[in-house]
Amino acid sequence: MDEKKFLADQFETNRTHLKAVAYRMLGSRTEADDAVQEAWLRLSRSDAGEVANIGGWLRTVVARICLDMLRSKKTRREESLDLPVHETIADTKVSANPEREALVADSVGVAMLVVLDQLGPAERVAFVLHDMFDIPFDDIAPIIGRTSEAARQLASRARRRVQGKPEIPAADIERRKTLVTAFLAASRNGDFQALLSLLHPDVAFMPDAAALRLGDTGELHGAHAVATTFNGRARGAQGAFIDDGFGFIVHIQGELRIAALIAFDGDRISRIEAIADAGHLQRLEYTPFHH
């Protein structure tokens, strides 16, 4: 069997599953077909000998294409969702869990797609891949440009919204904004004791590889170590909502160079994840705090 026919057969074997993944992410059969077709074009141009798992490779490519499509939309779709809604959700020949996907096929309808449409792109991709298709967070993380833990948090937030659980109360949002703002002020002013008071005793600072290259600070654990590192710094940082979470951003000559995602434990900062990788930064959605 020549390579071109082999790739075509592999693609056809996975097509139904790929369309199901793309449809759950995009909510449109037309757009899903476009995403799957683009995946085929990329496969046909690839070296199949270097792909160990073509089904997994195709799913990853489709997910990235869908993520780019979601992020490129400047406005919500003006057209209504395609009907009919229910379709075969998976090709059982390639499904890791046919029974699970059959249940999804029966349960996902217009109402679900409307809720999914309200999610941010990264949230939606993480939720769809994990909750609907049982993909591990370790595999989802590189698709959305996050750590596995961040992917887990995105999916969890999406799950709460899909299940109709309340969002973070307005008072909590303001409290977390205040914490981030106070942290940055204490850092700029060199107020070591204020930094300690804002950090959880077991706080972790987790830089990506690009952030490591920008400075000499590696992974840190504990309030004293993190406070020491940030003491007298963060002069160019600005508090921001990042992917529906909280953190701060740093622009240099008008270009986003660093983003830090902040997690909380009660009224203290429990984790700071620094991102400086250019590709990851391009995929972030952020809005600076208003003064």
Q: Which backbone phi and psi does 242 adopt, to 5 degrees? A: -125, 120
pLDDT at residue 262 is higher than 60: yes
In a domain, 108, yes or no: yes
Single residue among 140, 162, 184 that ends a domain in this structure: 162
> 3-state DSSP call for residue 283?
helix
Q: Which amino acid is at 280?
A: H
- Looking up residue 154, the CATH number of its domain turns out to be 1.20.140
pLDDT at residue 100 is higher than 60: no
- Same structural domain for residues 130 and 225? no
- Asked if residues 151 and 137 have their Cβ atoms less than 8 Å apart, the reply is yes
- The two beta strands, 199-207 and 220-221, are antiparallel
In a domain, 146, yes or no: yes
Edge to edge, what strands does the sheet with 237-242 contain?
Answer: 220-221, 199-207, 268-275, 255-265, 245-252, 237-242, 286-288
In a domain, 231, yes or no: yes
The domain total for the chain is 2
Window from 81-90, 174-183, 240-249, 281-290 with minimum mean pLDDT: 81-90
Q: Which backbone phi and psi does 43 adopt, to 5 degrees? A: -65, -45
- Same structural domain for residues 12 and 34? yes
- Looking up residue 231, the CATH number of its domain turns out to be 3.10.450.50
Q: How far is the C-alpha of 221 from the C-alpha of 204, rounded, in Å?
A: 4
Structure-block tokens of residue 224: 């004293």
- Same structural domain for residues 156 and 34? yes
Residues 6+ apart with CB under 8 A from 226: 195, 199, 203, 204, 205, 220, 272
In a domain, 220, yes or no: yes
- Same structural domain for residues 38 and 142? yes
The 3-class SS string of 248-275 reads EEEEECCEEEEEEEEEEECCEEEEEEEE
**What digits encode the pLDDT tens for the residues 173-220?**
889 999 999 999 999 999 999 999 999 999 999 998 888 888 767 889
In a domain, 167, yes or no: no
In a domain, 10, yes or no: yes
Residues 6+ apart with CB under 8 A from 253: none
CB atoms near residue 104 (< 10 Å): 20
Single residue among 162, 195, 210 that ends a domain in this structure: 162
- pLDDT in the model for residue 254: 86
- Same structural domain for residues 148 and 57? yes
Structure-block tokens of residue 28: 């449109």
Domain carrying residue 29? 3-162
**What digits encode the pLDDT tens for the residues 59-73?**
999 999 999 888 886
Question: How close are the terminal C-alpha atoms of the chain, in Å?
Answer: 65
Q: How far is the C-alpha of 63 from the C-alpha of 126, rounded, in Å?
A: 10
Q: Which amino acid is at 95?
A: S
- The two beta strands, 268-275 and 199-207, are parallel
- Same structural domain for residues 117 and 200? no
- Same structural domain for residues 156 and 28? yes
Average pLDDT for the chain: 80
DSSP state at residue 252: E
- Same structural domain for residues 123 and 209? no
Range ranked top by mean pLDDT from 8-17, 108-117, 146-155, 190-199: 190-199
In a domain, 49, yes or no: yes
In a domain, 199, yes or no: yes
- Same structural domain for residues 128 and 256? no
Structure-block tokens of residue 104: 């999804």
Single residue among 130, 162, 194 that ends a domain in this structure: 162
**C-alpha 228: how far from chain center:** 30
- pLDDT in the model for residue 191: 95
- Same structural domain for residues 153 and 225? no
- Same structural domain for residues 196 and 155? no
Percent of the chain with pLDDT over 70: 81
- Same structural domain for residues 211 and 183? yes
